[in-house]
Structure 1
Amino acid sequence: MIEMCAIASGSNGNCYYVGNGDEAVLVDAGISRRQVLERMAQRNLNPAKVKAILISHEHADHFRGVRVLSKNLNVPVYITQKSYDKSWGPNRPDQVILFQPGEDIKVGGLLIHSFLKNHDAAEPCSFRIENNGLNVGVFTDIGAPCDNVTSQLAQCQALFLESNYDEDMLWAGSYPQHLKTRVAGDKGHLSNAQAFDLLKQHHHPDLKVVFLSHLSGENNRPEVAADAFKSLLTCFEIKVTNRYAVGEVYTIE
């Protein structure tokens, strides 16, 4: 079995739990230690099962809480050298294990497949987490889908997939032009439409559930994102993560 939970998901902070019942990893730590532990307690997730924290890249909404959280849990933080070098020094954790993009990481019974993606960070990675042939992908902060993303998606039974913005809301919104251009660029974020097209073209019969993730507070709404994917509901479950609260614990066996 493999279980998953969005502890936090949005441009205001990200943290994802993936485990096999005995051990787990967290992907990113963009909220405080207190928030992570409180939200895990709300879903009866035991922090003692967390054996590592994986950092996708150095931006604050994925990194700001990692130093205190890793110290509290006494677990190592896996991060690439370039991401570590570009990170804000006071947030850098004490227990660091460096990995190369594309390297597989073994944490107990979990096998983590790392891969590069398109984003405006030093060395941005996403992860596919495997347990006994069951796979959960955590794919956020993707400006444009690349071959790495599509090939890894093909192996996932569950997926946290970025659906950051609605294009009309972004271009009509209050962001300055340079920020709109950055968000919509090939190294920015996936829109609802881009994420839909990715899934429409590359979903497969083994894909059971997709969690729409990393929604913008300014340029998206949960109901807008959900509506964009409704034609795929006959193919797999679609759920929307919450920017302000922990999600459900979802299990695949």
Structure 2
Amino acid sequence: MKFASLGSGSEGNALLISTASGADRTTVMLDCGFNIKETERRLQRRGMVPADLSGIVVTHEHQDHVGGVFKFARRHHLPVWLSFGTFHAVRKDCDGVQYRFCRDGEPLSIGHLELIPYTVPHDAREPVQYVVRDGRFKLGVLTDAGQATQHLTQSLSGCDALVLECNHDRGMLANSSYPPSLRSRIGGAYGHLSNDTTADILAALDRSRLKIVVGAHLSQQNNTPELARAALSSVIDGDTARIMIACQEDGFDWISLDALADQAGEDS
């Protein structure tokens, strides 16, 4: 399994997840918050073209995650998976798109990948995040949630890799120029995860298999990569897992879990 980001932040999100069985490869795109031309440009930067994709999987209806999904899917004849609640929020955009429903805890198979949706507390109709398996590795993704839940923690435990929202630093948000209502929404129970809340989530997980954790969805106004990295490091300092930080413009390049596993074997 390998994964890469086309971009991560309030201006657009898209995550590629890929695995191969022999010469047959399956690649899905998790969310697409960019327009068609920009998505194609960012795919090319990762050595991909739209025809390489097996489908698009959606977390929720906010525009930085779903803004480009249906136009892109329609243009390139790709199926889309989304929750029933998300569908109701975006149904006017679904014409001409082959869509399928997913729900909490029910695995969906796309080629050689198995994706398991899990519900999260976020201010959307029926938001889900995903754990992805390929028979060997397990990737957990959490990009939009307002607080930790037992269900969320159970879903993300035992992963080989994690992509975790580190949206804001509480102090920077409190002192930002945002109006009080927006600060309240972002920092609330159905908003976005602060660095320290994400660190608490990470500390509660089974990290025995963890090889890498990527801090994602950073606010450009209310966080810094250094603060996000410090929060993650406070939990896994001394562990063998690596830390990376995704950015809005570049996301991050392909991360191969096979390569990390091989390196871990060499290090041991």
TM-score by length of structure 2 reads 0.89
Q: Hey, what's the Cα distance between the residues in 2 that align with 1:93 and 1:28?
A: 18
Whether the 8 Å CA contact 2:153–2:204 is kept in 1: the answer is: no
Whether the 8 Å CA contact 2:131–2:155 is kept in 1: the answer is: yes
Whether the 8 Å CA contact 1:65–1:91 is kept in 2: the answer is: no
Shift of 1:90: 4.0
Shift of 1:227: 2.4
What do the CA deviations read for 1:164-215 (whole angstroms, capped 9, x no partner)? 0000000000111111111111111110011111112224120111110011
1:11 aligned partner: 10
Q: Which amino acid aligns with 2:123?
A: D
Shift of 1:40: 1.8
DSSP-derived class of the 2:54 partner: strand
What do the CA deviations read for 1:36-70 (whole angstroms, capped 9, x no partner)? 22112112134323111111001111110011211
1:234 aligned partner: 238
Whether the 8 Å CA contact 1:118–1:187 is kept in 2: the answer is: yes
DSSP-derived class of the 2:139 partner: strand
Segments of 5+ residues of structure 1 without an aligned counterpart are none
Whether the 8 Å CA contact 2:158–2:205 is kept in 1: the answer is: no
DSSP-derived class of the 1:229 partner: helix
Distance 1:90 1:75, change over 3 A: closer
The correspondence for 1:87, drawn from 80, 87, 90, is 90
Q: Which amino acid aligns with 2:245?
A: V
Q: Which amino acid aligns with 1:174?
A: S
Whether the 8 Å CA contact 2:31–2:69 is kept in 1: the answer is: yes
Q: Which amino acid aligns with 1:234?
A: G
Shift of 1:135: 1.1
Shift of 1:20: 0.2
Quote the sequence identity (%): 30
1:56 aligned partner: 59
Q: Name the Cα RMSD after superposition.
A: 1.6
Residues paired across the two proteins, number = 252
DSSP-derived class of the 2:43 partner: helix
What do the CA deviations read for 1:108-144 (whole angstroms, capped 9, x no partner)? 1110101111101000000011101311111111111
Q: Which amino acid aligns with 1:222?
A: P
Q: Hey, what's the Cα distance between the residues in 2 that align with 1:23 and 1:73?
A: 16
Which runs of structure 2 are paired with 1:1-253 in the superposition (5 Å)?
2-21=1-20, 22-87=25-90, 89-90=92-93, 94-231=97-234, 232-235=236-239, 236-253=241-258
Segments of 5+ residues of structure 2 without an aligned counterpart are 259-268
Whether the 8 Å CA contact 1:139–1:161 is kept in 2: the answer is: yes
